[in-house]
Amino acid sequence: MKIKVLKDVLKANDTIAEENRTILRKKGILTLNLMSSPGAGKTLILEKTVERLKKDFKIGVIEGDVSTSNDARRLARYDIPVIQINTDSIGGACHLDANMVKEALGSLNLSSIQILFIENIGNLICPAGFDLGEDKKIIVLSLTEGEDKPVKYPVAFRKADLLLVNKLDLLNHLDIDLELLLKNSRKVNPDLKSIQLSARTGEGIDKWAQWIKKNLDLKKRRSGALGS
């Protein structure tokens, strides 16, 4: 019975996710779902990313947390629209779902957004199971977490389209094998591309920004083809 209930929940979520995807596709918005463990550096990466891109692109953020609006306030300083989703009042869910995102979309002026970032709740398990209607899933893994996380939490890495290896500035101060980390990620997902960066120093942010620009351009072309 529990398995059937879970399947029903996921099916309902997927239906709403497709509705979200249709809305976002019609608007030509590139939507990126960032997933990670708590403290991996998603918010600081987003801050550095917004700094790089906001002059040329209109950016919006949906910020997910169990409680507080700390991260949302950090991002709102960049004068971009930020919608906070807290799950504490609904049982403290450890992930965002498609219906939460649908409600957040209704509070955004989508006509003035080209790139939408969804910062999911810090967790390497639950968020991977819920489609939100995004174009790409991004997994952020900091070097401080160790080489084994891709094989310990394979679903998140298996479903991801890009791996951001963060905190590169700490590489020489940690007992970690970066090549083994990347090897483990490819073991789980042979097609998973990776970008190594340091949100603190800014190293690698340009490469990440170029990846975003490339995918936004691809989204525009596909949206144009569908509309023609």
Query: For residue 215, what is the domain's CATH number?
Result: 3.40.50.300
Supply φ then ψ for residue 31, to 5 degrees.
-115, 125
Inter-residue contact 40 to 140 (CB < 8 Å) = yes
| CA–CA dist 80, 84 (Å, integer) | 13
Strands 82-86 vs 59-65: parallel, antiparallel or unpaired? parallel
Query: Could you tell me the CA-to-CA distances from 92 to 9, 46, 47, 68, 109 in Å, in that order?
Result: 17, 24, 25, 12, 27
Instruction: Convert 178-190 to b/e letters by CB count within 10 Å (16 or more is b).
Output: eeebbebbbebbe
Q: Provide the domain count of the chain.
A: 1
Query: Could you tell me the CA-to-CA distances from 25 to 45, 77, 92 in Å, in that order?
Result: 25, 28, 30
pLDDT at residue 150 in the model: 98
Residues (pLDDT < 50) of the chain are 1-2, 5, 228
pLDDT at residue 228 in the model: 40
For residue 214, give its domain range. Answer: 2-227
Helix axes 205-227, 42-53, angle to 10 degrees: 70
